[in-house]
Amino acid sequence: MSVLEIVLIAIALAMDCFAVSIVSGVICRKLYTAKALRMAFLLGLFQALMPLLGWTAIHFFQHSVEAYDHWIAFGFLEIIGTKMIRDSFSDEESEHFNPLLISTQLLLAVATSIDALAVGISMSCSGFSTVKMLVLPLVIIGIVSFIFSISGTLIGVRYGDTVAKKIRPELLGGIILIGIGIKVLLEHLLG
């Protein structure tokens, strides 16, 4: 696998991070630098670690991982998306989806990176026979996801007020997360 192919895979994996970060920026409407960096770090970290987990799992749990990874991603994203939609119609501000909380960021990091397990499985099947061979791809995947997350947050913050005046940000975010979950599920079921 060439470096260009690895970068393209990293970009594809980072798209969910980008979408989640845009939604988070729209909801916050203000840049909280430390929390945005933490979220980008967590998203990048999980995007980088999940292929390693998938690569490792191929040796021990191949059939279990392949059979359920898409359902797990779908479930996480649907639960978070549904909560966001429900919160968008709630009058109580304190109960709304808060992308600044570490617990929310961890859930988003796990949910958006589960499809990266399949990448790790495919790496195992395409000649990556040692962990040492995985280092460069994992670093590229993590860095690209980090950059896409920061970019998404900045875009969301920049255009958050405009979007929030026209629609409820949490409603949009919930719909996007549910859409990502359905996409992950359909890719695995139909692909």
**What DSSP string describes 84-120?**
HHHHHT-S-GGGS--TTSHHHHHHHHHHHHTHHHHHH
Task: Pick 96 or 145 by higher pLDDT.
Answer: 145
- Once rounded to an integer, what is the mean pLDDT over residues 108-124? 83
Range of the domain at 145: 3-190
Q: How far is CA 95 from CA 17, 84, 88, 184, in A?
A: 24, 10, 10, 28
Closest CA to 26 of 164, 123, 181: 164
Residue range 60-80, pLDDT digits in tens: 665 665 677 678 777 877 877
pLDDT on residue 59: 65
Domains contained in the chain, number: 1
Average pLDDT, stretch 22-47?
93
Angle (CA) 154 14 79, round 5°: 90
Q: What is the pLDDT of residue 142?
A: 97
Higher-confidence residue: 10 or 76? Answer: 10
Measure the CA–CA gap between 120 and 50, rounded to whole angstroms.
7
Tell me how many helices (H) and strands (E) the chain has: 7, 0
Three-point CA angle 29, 146, 148, nearest 5°: 65
- Look at residue 4 and tell me whether its pLDDT is greater than 60: yes
Pairwise pLDDT comparison (143 vs 95), residue with the higher score: 143
Comparing 54 with 147, the larger pLDDT belongs to 147
> Of 13 and 77, which is predicted with more confidence?
13
CA atoms within 13 A on the CB side of 3: 3
Judged against a pLDDT cut of 50, whether residue 30 lies above it is answered with yes
- Farthest-apart Cα atoms in the chain, separation: 54
